[in-house]
Amino acid sequence: MTKRRVLGTVATLFMVLAGAAAAREAPAAESGVTFTKDVLPILQRSCQGCHRPGAIAPMSLVTYEEVRPWARSVKRNVETREMPPWYVDRRIGIQDFKDDPSLTDAEIATIAAWVDAGSPRGNPADAPPPVEFPSPHEWQIGEPDLIVSLPEPYLLPAEGPDEFPNVYADPGLTTDRYIKAVEVKPDANSLEVVHHIVTTMTEFDEDLAKGNFLNEYAVGKNGDIFDDNTGRLMKAGTKIRFGMHLHPYGEEIPVMVHVGLKLYPEGFVPKYQLVSQHMGDDDDLLIPAGEKGVRTDGYTMLTRPAVVTAFQPHLHTRGQAQCIEAIIPQTDAEGNVLLQAPGTSPAPLMRQMTLNCVPQWRFNWHLVYNYAEEAAPVFPPGTVIHISTWHDNSDTLRVNPDPRNNVVYGQRTIDEMSFAWVSYYYIDEEEYKARLAAQNARTSNDQ
Ligand code: HEC
């Protein structure tokens, strides 16, 4: 083949490719995807909670003028599913969540088509009314019975790296109480610098880190109001730990944060007692310098019939991935766990069910994956919750503080952790059988 012919072929190829690209874009232009009609409703639902003036995201995505310069970046971030922050694997496990901000494939295609068509504004009359965001001064859970604040403002400098302070506060409880609703709220001056906050209750001061989970705050999320007759126990003498992720914003800020609690009356014990506990911890965790894909496993048994309601991976900077699965004893059709008579065989097999995986952990985002009511799985007693965690201590991990060091288990951000907060409550035998029957009916309908 002569040089000229090669060039000619390449040129033809370019024309074909250009033609194909034009053909790909044509339907977008023809389909008339516009900002006001198609894109704005998506941004309102899934982005503006954080991307609005005064909130944590770096830019506002409220008006056309604000979004237009970010169009390409928006396309890239939604196509890679970097935004909105929601990092659960969509191909495996439970997919039905409360408050799921993630986009459908169709919504991503709509945004991409809009950008490819040159980001047209469209008819202003097509725009949905602007969303009214809750005032930072109002409690979304209603007026709390108890407000616990940082003992004093935490002074965040104008500039510098993100900070991760843990601050303790004493709610002054003298009797055990059950929490009906909880909300974490930074003062208006602190909204722009609070990336997220995880509050925990430290019931036993000898082991502060393993207290009971209270609430997770990220901008765009309201408080947690538990279902009827469901509560989280707060023991007398408990302290609250505010684990904060703060992001300097060019101005020194005295950060002030409160947690508001609505409580059941004194002495009242709700039927469902919601517990969130560490599962998967490995105190002997060792991640050798330079290694990637270092796996840790932890196993916890649910000793009574249980409903699992939420999963929240908790790793530090070198976190790579995490999965939660249940290993379930064999049961009869009613849900009774099969027990062998002595001397009989074979021993029953167990069943495996993956609840969720987070294939690529992002240290920046501590997200709680709360299952929708009907999707929260019911398990027989003896079910083992297995947390598998992978860490990356290689130099290919951009956020690795130092790949030359072995890393061990510990509290500091430069140490590591390998657990998940898993939320569950126990139910009685009768309710277990009724719920299991309903769950089995739903899964057989799905198939
Ligand atoms: C929970 C809060 C939150 C939600 C919801 C959210 N974002 Fe973001 N977004 C952020 C934060 C914070 C950043 C800054 C980077 C970081 O911290 O990860 C960011 C960064 C971005 C960036 C990159 C900006 C840059 O500097 O390059 C784009 C683009 C973006 N978001 C678009 C979106 C879109 C589009 C949606 C909705 C489909 C969305 N975001 C939903 C909080 C959010």
Highest mean pLDDT: which range of 39-43, 220-224, 331-335? 39-43
Same domain, residue pair 317 and 331: yes
Q: Could you tell me the residue range of the domain that residue 222 belongs to?
A: 146-271
Rounded mean pLDDT, 185-213: 74
Same domain, residue pair 177 and 325: no
What's the domain count of the chain? 3
Rounded mean pLDDT, 54-68: 92
Same domain, residue pair 279 and 266: no
Q: Is the pLDDT of residue 82 over 90?
A: yes
Highest mean pLDDT: which range of 19-23, 197-201, 427-431? 427-431
Same domain, residue pair 382 and 300: yes
Examine the fold and report which residue of 66, 91, 126 is the final residue of a domain before the chain moves on. 126
Question: Ligand 1 mean position to 153 CA, how many Å?
Answer: 27
Q: What are phi and psi of 187, to 5 degrees?
A: -65, 160
- Residue by residue, DSSP assigns 146-177 as EEEE-SS-EEE-SSSS-B--EEEE-----S-E
Same domain, residue pair 324 and 432: yes
**pLDDT at residue 222, rounded to an integer:** 66
Overall residue count recorded for the chain in this entry: 447
Examine the fold and report which residue of 57, 92, 126 is the final residue of a domain before the chain moves on. 126
**pLDDT at residue 5, rounded to an integer:** 37
**Rounded to an integer, what distance in angstroms lies between the CA atom of residue 240 and that of residue 167?**
8
Question: Ligand 1 mean position to 74 CA, how many Å?
Answer: 8
- Residues with a CB atom less than 6 Å from ligand 1: 46-47, 49-51, 56-58, 70, 73-74, 77-78, 83-85, 101, 103, 218-220, 364
Q: Is the pLDDT of residue 209 over 70?
A: no
Of ligand 1's atoms, which has the minimum distance to the CA of residue 70? Answer: 29
Total Cβ atoms within 10 A of residue 320:
21
Same domain, residue pair 169 and 312: no
pLDDT band of 192, cuts 50, 70, 90: confident
**pLDDT at residue 173, rounded to an integer:** 92
Same domain, residue pair 302 and 435: yes
- Whether 141 maps to a domain, the answer reads no
**pLDDT at residue 33, rounded to an integer:** 97
The percent of residues above 90 in pLDDT, for the chain, comes to 59
Same domain, residue pair 299 and 425: yes
**Rounded to an integer, what distance in angstroms lies between the CA atom of residue 124 and that of residue 34?**
10
Contact 401, 426 (CB under 8 A): no
pLDDT tens figures, 220-231: 566 788 888 999
Sorted by sequence, the CB contacts under 8 Å of residue 180 that are 6+ apart come out as 225, 226, 231, 262, 263, 264, 270
pLDDT band of 446, cuts 50, 70, 90: low
